[in-house]
Amino acid sequence: MLRTHTCGQLRLENVGQRVTICGWVDTSRDHGQTIFLDIRDRYGKTQVVVNPDSGSAALEIAKSFRGEDVVLISGRVDRRLEGKDNTKLDTGAVEVVAEEVRLLNRSLTPPFFPNQEELPGEDLRLKYRYIDLRRTAMQNTLLLRSQIIKKMRDYFADHQFIDVETPILGRSTPEGARDYLVPSRVHWGKFFALPQSPQLYKQILMVAGYDRYVQVARCFRDEDLRADRQPEFSQLDVEMSFVDADDVIGLIDGLMVKLAKEILGIDLKTPLPRMTYDEAMRRFGSDAPDLRYGMEIVDCSDLARQTEFRVFRGAVDSGGFVRGLKIDRRAEEFSRKRIDELTEFVKHDFAAKGLAWFRCEPDGSLWSPISKNVEPTVLEGFKQRFQTSPGDLILLLADAWEVTCKGLNGLRRKLAAELKLYDPAQMHFSWVVEFPMFDHDPEENRWVATHHPFTAPRPQDLSKLKETPDACRAQAYDLVINGYEAGGGTIRIHDSGTQQCVFDLLGITPEMAVNRFGFLLDALRYGAPPHGGIALGIDRVVMLFGGLDNIRDCIAFPKTQRAMDLMTEAPGDVELKQLRELHIQVETPPVKSK
């Protein structure tokens, strides 16, 4: 090893020792005959002093150092002068008086420096990711990620799980998100697909008798991106045999207790709170509600039927709803301009028709520009329903159920952040359970699986499969942390009769089923045990435990929202020879008209 110690290792007990450290020049301060250098590696920083006692050659070399040069320093550890300690550094009580100074590699002037306070734009950070990854914040996040994954592995090893790797090159299945396809050179016109998840393989492992499987799996989905989504991502994949939903949820409760305690120093009480999907949508308008604050949705549709006010009455008469939120005692903070901005927000982002509002006056009455159009008895009903006090503000949407859910959930999250209704360092863990088995696709007029076609219905809903599929609830469960879905899982169908019934509802004929999932269906006929599992999004868990807002900040080499790697410039062109070997012909993209 070139070095004897890292840049974050030296302490008072090392005073008098001769050491060698290596790292990057973080800062350089030239005081004439004395040069102070801060040398940095991923473990910390150490101050180095180069003075005449170091020799003229060492002093001359040190004067040439620039930020991000890679250097080697050998010398004696000294106690810093009295009053010169740097309490912000673990190494801040000592310094290295240089005896040997070597330049290991010169750096070009980087487009930004890891120690600068104001960060450049994200595109520049992603293009020069190797510079960005030198930042202390990025290093701490990747260290946190490593710690979380290790603790996950340790937890499941302690619970007798076996870690099994499943294939990256698999078969394309049309259900779910769009696949990334990989052409086969050997088999003309055939394609592998990168796995969206190891779902089919882990079910086969249950049939094979490996009753407790776990894997840190790489997954790939060709879908539109956002702040908490990437085209390739890591998930903690878990499957168990001879279990029900409570068993899986209880296991993950224990994992969250371990991570919260050992990473954040938080004591969680178990079982973690649960609510049904229907309750979550009714109270919060989201199947991943943020429960760090209140501001629950209140349904006033019955009151709207009692008014002649066209906006309210028209919405419910056409099958819609009137639902709203109450902001406690903050009405004076909402000018007409701000309310107009909120109205544009729900219109633009959630296709809402508009936003109605009422302010509770000092005498307890409700007022707004529309209050004169609403009957006093209905206004009194709003007061009672929202339990208003002077200074409260009510915001209402009159629209279709889905629009009121999305719009009010968006308002709730936006206002909670703006009004600082929660501590950003606070963590809240909960479960949402009993999701619908099916969604209805109005364009194609058919049922689609909410999760995947192998999700088991609740036993009490088996009889509803054929007659009222929209009333059928799944044995499905999502872990929610601070309003984000951190993981999701289901109990699987393991009997052929129920599976065929679900396929029938989804419009999957026996021939289609064999073509898409034949190997799994065959396996299920050879003694499949009852089984179920869950997948936790590792990137998202790290984001939440690290208090980050963007999932790209907890991935070493992420893609942009256009699924591009700016550093390597992937995806890129390939040679014509490669395309010919794969029997692929690329069409010229159409010319865009000006």
pLDDT at 229: 81
Specify the pLDDT at position 175.
61
Once rounded to an integer, what is the mean pLDDT over residues 93-118? 97
User: What pLDDT, on the 0 to 100 scale, is given for residue 223?
Assistant: 84
Question: Looking at residue 586, what DSSP letter applies?
Answer: P
Superfamily of domain 293-421: GAD-like domain (3.30.1360.30)
Listed in order, the ranges of the chain carrying CATH 3.30.930.10 are 139-275+430-554
**408-441 burial, b if ≥16 CB within 10 A, otherwise e?**
bbbbbbebbeeeebbeeeebbbbbbbbbbbbeee
Contact 21, 73 (CB under 8 A): yes
For residues 489 and 476, give the distance between their C-alpha atoms in angstroms, rounded to a whole number: 6
Q: What is the pLDDT of residue 452?
A: 87
φ, ψ for residue 129, nearest 5 deg? -60, -30
pLDDT tens for 161-190 read: 999 999 999 988 766 678 999 999 999 999
Task: Name the percent of the chain in helix, strand, coil, to the closest 5.
Answer: 35, 25, 40
What's the DSSP call for residue 428? -
Residues of the chain with CATH 2.40.50.140: 12-105
In the CATH scheme, what is the homologous superfamily, with its name and number, of domain 139-275+430-554? Bira Bifunctional Protein; Domain 2 (3.30.930.10)
* Mean pLDDT value across residues 499-509: 89
Is the pLDDT at 227 greater than 90? The verdict is: no
- Work out the percent of the chain whose per-residue pLDDT is above 70: 98
* pLDDT tens per residue across span 407-418: 999 999 999 999
Name the residue type at position 330.
R
Write out pLDDT tens, residues 549-574. Answer: 899 999 999 999 889 999 999 999 99
pLDDT at res. 106: 97
Q: What confidence score (pLDDT) does residue 488 get? A: 97
Partnered with residue 28 across adjacent β-strands are 37
Could you tell me where in the chain the CATH 3.30.1360.30 domains are found? 293-421
Average of pLDDT values for 368-378?
96
Q: What is the pLDDT of residues 22-81, one digit of tens each?
A: 999 999 999 989 999 999 999 999 999 999 999 999 999 999 999 999 999 999 999 999
pLDDT at 442: 84
User: 507 by DSSP, 3-state: which?
Assistant: coil
- CATH class belonging to 12-105: mainly beta
What pLDDT is stored for residue 412 in this prediction?
Answer: 98
Mean pLDDT of the chain: 94
Per-residue pLDDT band at 354 (split at 50, 70, 90):
very high
pLDDT at residue number 593: 67
Please check the confidence at residue 594 and state whether its pLDDT lies above 80.
no
Once rounded to an integer, what is the mean pLDDT over residues 124-132?
97
**pLDDT at residue 370 in the model:** 96
Over residues 466-498, the pLDDT tens digits come to 889 999 999 999 999 999 999 999 999 998 888
Return the H-helix or E-strand segment holding 144: helix 136-158
Regarding beta strands 321-327 and 356-360, do their DSSP bridges make them parallel or antiparallel, or are they unpaired? unpaired
